[in-house]
């Protein structure tokens, strides 16, 4: 029978801590490196270089034949965008980067969205970024021992609804740690299922993906790039967390 969830041993958690700390560092360094005029392919190669300088490698490259080191999704692209030699970052682009690192067999997976040249303070892009990130932290706060996956999904969906944002349904958060995708799934919306109860040692990647317009998405002919059906902007924030006896611990926290 397929497992419903995985509880990681303290030894595994030690390895996962190192991988997630490395992923967080790569993510934050990349945010600083992204400047107007750089091709997304060049950015992808830099990401690969930073990961190997940390002693790791991309957990995405080659996964189901994914061709990139990281996922780089621009503007109406939701997730799984691929760095391209003919696409450059432009001032004002909304970019979502998703970093997955494999460090000695342990996985760190984290994502964030930002605007090239600096995040706006007002307007709908600012709202999208703000609410999606808030939903991530709301979801994390619900990842308490004794709660169910449902409680995380509920608060994330509520946060989106309060700002009338579309919640992507095809892609969801997930267990993570010794494989990129482990049970359980962590949807950003509720369904009839409560999902497993949260127990200390569970490691989850919580990752709201919200759209300014419709929740509907399409996939490009490249088989990877997911974009909004109405061409409106999308944002994506992801942290990995460890469920503990007490408050959840954010493993991909910024250490800067
Ligand atoms: Mg993920």
Distance 208 CA to ligand 1 centre (A): 10
The residues that bridge with 98 in the sheet, in sequence order, are: 71, 111
CA pair distance 253, 170, nearest whole angstrom: 26
Distance 238 CA to ligand 1 centre (A): 7
Alpha carbon 125 to its chain's center: 18
256 has pLDDT over 60: no
Distance 106 CA to ligand 1 centre (A): 14
**What percent of the chain is predicted at pLDDT more than 90?**
96
pLDDT band, residue 1 (cuts 50/70/90): low
Cβ–Cβ under 8 Å, residues 116 and 92 = yes
Distance 138 CA to ligand 1 centre (A): 17
94 has pLDDT over 90: yes
Distance 92 CA to ligand 1 centre (A): 25
Distance 193 CA to ligand 1 centre (A): 21
Query: Burial level of 86, CB count in 10 A (0-12/13-18/19+)?
Result: exposed
Residue ranges with strand state E in the chain:
57-58, 71-74, 77-79, 94-103, 106-115, 166-167, 173-175, 182-186, 203-206, 209-211, 217-219, 226-228, 234-236, 239-242, 249-250
Alpha carbon 212 to its chain's center: 18
Mean pLDDT, residues 143-168: 98
Q: Class for domain 10-250, per CATH?
A: alpha beta
102 has pLDDT over 90: yes
255 has pLDDT over 70: no
Distance 88 CA to ligand 1 centre (A): 25
Distance 146 CA to ligand 1 centre (A): 23
Distance 123 CA to ligand 1 centre (A): 28
What pLDDT sits at residue 2?
A: 79
Mean pLDDT, residues 94-98: 98
- What does the pLDDT look like over 200-254, one tens digit per residue? 999 999 999 999 999 999 999 999 999 999 999 999 999 999 999 999 999 999 7
Distance 256 CA to ligand 1 centre (A): 22
**What percent of the chain is predicted at pLDDT more than 70?**
99
Distance 56 CA to ligand 1 centre (A): 17
Distance 171 CA to ligand 1 centre (A): 9
Distance 147 CA to ligand 1 centre (A): 21
Residue ranges with strand state E in 116-169:
166-167
Q: What angle do CA 126, 131, 133 make, to 5 degrees?
A: 100
Distance 111 CA to ligand 1 centre (A): 8
Sign of CA dihedral 230, 98, 165, 206: positive
**Residue 251 is encoded by which pair of tokens?**
């493993």
8 has pLDDT over 80: yes
Alpha carbon 112 to its chain's center: 7
CA dihedral 4, 160, 135, 146 (to 10 degrees): -40
Cβ–Cβ under 8 Å, residues 32 and 56 = no
**Residue 162 is encoded by which pair of tokens?**
């309060």
Distance 43 CA to ligand 1 centre (A): 20
- What does the pLDDT look like over 25-52, one tens digit per residue? 999 999 999 999 999 999 999 999 999 9
What pLDDT sits at residue 226?
A: 98
Distance 205 CA to ligand 1 centre (A): 6
For the chain, the straight-line distance linking the first and the last C-alpha, in angstroms and rounded, comes to 43
């Amino acid at each position: 029978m397929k497992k419903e969830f995985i509880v990681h041993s303290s030894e595994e958690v030690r390895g996962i801590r190192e991988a997630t700390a490395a992923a967080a560092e790569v993510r934050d360094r990349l945010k600083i490196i992204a400047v107007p005029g750089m091709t997304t392919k060049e950015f992808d190669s830099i990401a690969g270089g930073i990961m190997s300088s940390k002693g790791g490698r991309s957990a995405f490259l080659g996964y189901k034949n994914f061709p990139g080191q990281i996922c780089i999704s621009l503007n109406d692209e939701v997730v799984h965008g691929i760095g391209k030699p003919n696409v450059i970052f432009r001032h004002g682009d909304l970019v979502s980067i998703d970093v997955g690192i494999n460090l000695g067999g342990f996985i760190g997976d984290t994502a964030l969205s930002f605007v090239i040249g600096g995040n706006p303070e007002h307007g709908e892009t600012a709202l999208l970024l703000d609410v999606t990130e808030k939903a991530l932290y709301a979801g994390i706060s619900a990842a308490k021992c004794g709660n169910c996956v449902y409680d995380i999904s509920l608060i994330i969906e509520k946060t989106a609804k309060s700002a009338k944002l579309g919640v992507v349904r095809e892609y969801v958060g997930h267990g993570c740690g010794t494989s990129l995708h482990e049970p359980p799934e962590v949807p950003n919306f509720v369904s009839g299922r409560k999902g497993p109860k949260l127990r200390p040692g569970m490691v989850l990647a919580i990752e709201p993906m919200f759209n300014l317009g419709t929740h509907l998405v399409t996939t490009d002919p490249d088989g990877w790039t997911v974009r909004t059906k109405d061409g409106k902007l999308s944002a994506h924030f992801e942290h990995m967390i460890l469920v503990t006896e007490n408050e959840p611990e954010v493993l991909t926290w910024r250490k800067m």
